[in-house]
Amino acid sequence: MSRPTIAAVARAAGVSVASVSRVLNGLPATEEMAERVQRAVAELGYVPDSRARSLKVGRTFQLTLAVADVGNPVYVTMMRAVEEVVSAAGYRLVVTTTGPDVVDEVALVRGMARGYADGLVISPLRVDDDLIKSIQECDVPVVVAGNVPARAGVDTVRANSPKGMLLAVEHLLTTQRHKVAFVNGPVDTVPGTARSKGFTDAMKANSLNPVAQVEADDFTFAAGREAGRRLLDQLGLETTQPSAEGARAPGGEASSPSSFPAAGGGGIDAVIAANDLLAVGVMHELAARGLRVPDDVAVIGMDDSELAEQSFPPLTSVNLGSAERGRRAAELLLARIEDDTRTPRRIVVQPSLSVRRSS
Amino acid sequence: MSRPTIAAVARAAGVSVASVSRVLNGLPATEEMAERVQRAVAELGYVPDSRARSLKVGRTFQLTLAVADVGNPVYVTMMRAVEEVVSAAGYRLVVTTTGPDVVDEVALVRGMARGYADGLVISPLRVDDDLIKSIQECDVPVVVAGNVPARAGVDTVRANSPKGMLLAVEHLLTTQRHKVAFVNGPVDTVPGTARSKGFTDAMKANSLNPVAQVEADDFTFAAGREAGRRLLDQLGLETTQPSAEGARAPGGEASSPSSFPAAGGGGIDAVIAANDLLAVGVMHELAARGLRVPDDVAVIGMDDSELAEQSFPPLTSVNLGSAERGRRAAELLLARIEDDTRTPRRIVVQPSLSVRRSS
DNA sequence: TTGAAAGCGCTAACAC
DNA sequence: GTGTTAGCGCTTTCAA
């Protein structure tokens, strides 16, 4: 038995389809009419087809959130925030994953023309002219949670990475750390570029020279660990442990009661990582080499995701406002759906530092 | 300027809409016809409306995956597996979050009647008769990644928690741990129930008595930490550290060269947690009380999610086959979409143990 | 207030 | 091989 249609309901209620539609949409009708329709609806278990409806009204009341990697906890925070805003506005949120390639992002945006949703929040890892063009030409409103050139003329809400980097570097200085290394993600990504420049500027602003810099292949834990390996190799820090079994904890007891940097960091006393996953990967590699966090090396991540509290030791992390970015992005999208003529806004969310035990 | 329709393309190409449709769907047409249509499509940037299409053909070529909590890393693994299978089959996957309440799950399943997708994979946290009923009556195929009664007659693929618990307990015995505590999630959930029974049986089978058992409010890190707090309070283990600053690492250096349990666990030498998030929460609480993992207390999680490798020390975890469950669930769904008359299958995925440093 | 009917954009008979 | 047309399920004029 197939799904009942509005016609079936009309027949069962002995009224016209128009009346059923009206009752269902809360338009004026007599008490009795409403009653009869409701009964028929309940009896048949009728549920309106959203495709047919949206074909007619031109809206789906669905919104899409596209992220590159569901495994990145920063997106969890963002998803939650977006979900909250859009569901309060009566929209359904669906999440899709694009993967790391810009071509897939472009395909996703182009695909929106198929009418899947009334709007899109996209947090692109990589941006090129094709992507910008696809966003500009998109049939539904798009807001970018990330950084695209102002001339693109699209709504964006982005983090302030340079400011965030400044917070990180200044925190390190305050805690007497001067020999800092930087583990970035792929520099051909939007966040990778921003972090790179931010780090360089922040160091310069504090008259510091980076001791070392490496670039991970990806914004993932595995890539972070691998990058940490390269970093420490580069610094001439061989693995000190005879076996994995005996590897020391990153948060092992301090060798001295104070929290001043101990020797043994092999030329560095701090690492800043471009996100939390990378930071945790680096901490694992430090531990594998017998280096303690924060005693030998302080570690700072970025994003202040759930992983930062879950990691051990808990990770000091630059809060780039992912929840607020999600919220603002959702609000921007809703506003643009409401009024497509408003001039594009570019919102920048300010960072803060969540100091935990890794620094 | 609004989106071009198939009629606009037909006009531009000087052919009929039927011909455009045919070319677009790869049906026989002359070289020249194909050419003209393709050109017009490219010129206008035409993209077919999937709503109109699916209204006509009765299929959306979208599949939905519904999970309770995007923040739980086990779902990340599952999502990836499902995505892989369905996209290979030419379907688009959309993910939605239900939250922890069964009523929202029911609403989700009922809502599928609106025609959002051709099928649903749902991993319900809580199951009641309403939910089962909604699944049975659902207009589109549903496969449950989790446990529902056999009499429900729905396709399911589930984990073997009891077997997994057995692996965990036996591993502890092998490593000379006998005083084990259990940190479960809410027992009114599907996994909570399964883990509870599994743990009890596994202990009994090995002639072991649980030293303590606590139930977390949720399958989250925060709830795990809180449950750990209650557990250790219950065992009379006061916080030994004067300040948070000096808390010891869970993976601190062993006090003896062997890996035999040291004293200091306050009546326990092992904790099994119902999932990885809970396990990590417990590890944090252990650390806060100066207890070392695994030296004082071994910790075993379940799910073997990405978090298990990311945690420190890396978490021994029961692999409940979330990737395979995702894969099989997706395959089951595809098969049922293909043939709705096949008898429901109930697949059980066997667990394995991923031994890491926490035990 | 209610009903009849047009039409959203597409596909699939059916006729040529 | 191609064009005409009915109709998927719904909403919304327009008349009554």
pLDDT (tens digit per residue) in A269-279: 999 999 999 99
Check B259 against A251: CB less than 8 A apart: no
Check B312 against A250: CB less than 8 A apart: yes
Closest CA to B231 of B189, B274, B191: B274
Mean pLDDT across chain A? 92
Does pLDDT of A248 surpass 50? Answer: no
Q: Which residues of A touch B116 (CB under 8 A)?
A: 50, 62
- At B3 the pLDDT is 86
Average pLDDT over residues B236-254: 49
Average pLDDT over residues A188-200: 96
Does pLDDT of B42 surpass 60? Answer: yes
Which residue stretches of A155-302 are H helix?
161-174, 190-205, 221-234, 276-288
- At B195 the pLDDT is 97
- At B264 the pLDDT is 58
Is B345's CB less than 7 Å from nucleic acid strand D? no
Average pLDDT over residues A188-206: 96
User: How sure is the predictor about B254, in pLDDT bands with cuts at 50, 70 and 90?
Assistant: very low
Percent of chain B with pLDDT over 90: 90
User: How sure is the predictor about B299, in pLDDT bands with cuts at 50, 70 and 90?
Assistant: very high
The domain made up of A161-319 is a member of CATH 3.30.420.10? no
Domains B54-159+322-351 and B161-319 share a fold: yes
Percent of chain A with pLDDT over 70: 92
Pick the CATH number of A1-48 from 3.10.105.10, 1.10.260.40, 3.40.190.290, 3.90.1150.10: 1.10.260.40
Query: Could you tell me which residue, B111 or B264, shows the higher pLDDT?
Result: B111
Can you list the positions of beta strands (E) in chain A?
62-67, 92-97, 120-122, 142-144, 155-159, 180-184, 212-215, 270-273, 298-302, 316-319, 346-349, 352-354
Q: How many CB pairs under 8 A join A and B?
A: 163
What is the bridge-based pairing of β-strands B352-354 and B316-319? antiparallel
Does pLDDT of A319 surpass 50? Answer: yes
User: How sure is the predictor about A354, in pLDDT bands with cuts at 50, 70 and 90?
Assistant: very high
User: How sure is the predictor about A260, in pLDDT bands with cuts at 50, 70 and 90?
Assistant: very low
Does pLDDT of B247 surpass 70? Answer: no
Å between CA of A42 and C1' of C5? 27
The alpha-carbon gap from A283 to the nearest alpha carbon of chain B, in Å, equals 9
Does pLDDT of B253 surpass 50? Answer: no
The domain ranges of chain A are 1-48, 54-159+322-351, 161-319
Closest CA to B82 of B98, B68, B66, B71: B66
Of B71, B277, B280, the CB nearest to A76: B71
Of A49, A115, A309, the CB nearest to B50: A115
- Decide: A353 and A315 in contact? Cβ < 8 Å: no
- At A250 the pLDDT is 52
- At B134 the pLDDT is 96
The residues that bridge with B46 in the sheet, in sequence order, are none
Place of tokens 């009896």: A43
b/e sequence B271-301, b meaning 16+ C-beta within 10 Å = bbbbbbbbbbbbbbbbbbbbbbbbbbbbbbb
- At A229 the pLDDT is 97
Percent of chain B with pLDDT over 70: 92
**Tell me: the pLDDT tens digits for A62-71?**
999 999 999 9
Does pLDDT of B196 surpass 50? Answer: yes
User: How sure is the predictor about A3, in pLDDT bands with cuts at 50, 70 and 90?
Assistant: confident
Closest CA to B161 of B128, B199, B135, B124: B199
- At A245 the pLDDT is 36
- At A66 the pLDDT is 97
- At A353 the pLDDT is 98
Average pLDDT over residues A223-229: 98
Query: Could you tell me which residue, A267 or A286, shows the higher pLDDT?
Result: A286
- At A2 the pLDDT is 75
Is B114's CB less than 7 Å from nucleic acid strand D? no
Q: Which residues of B touch A283 (CB under 8 A)?
A: 312
Strand D within 7 Å of which CB atoms in A 20-39? 20-22, 24-25
Average pLDDT over residues B321-328: 98
- At A246 the pLDDT is 37
Is A113's CB less than 7 Å from nucleic acid strand C? no
Does pLDDT of B62 surpass 80? Answer: yes
Mean pLDDT across chain B? 92
Which class does domain A54-159+322-351 fall in? alpha beta
- At A51 the pLDDT is 96
Check B312 against A284: CB less than 8 A apart: yes
Does pLDDT of A240 surpass 60? Answer: no
H or E stretch at A105: helix A102-111
- At B237 the pLDDT is 72
pTM: 0.92
- At A50 the pLDDT is 96
The residues that bridge with B157 in the sheet, in sequence order, are B145, B347
CA distance A297 to A278: 15
Tokens at residue A287, please? 């531990």
- Decide: A311 and A268 in contact? Cβ < 8 Å: no
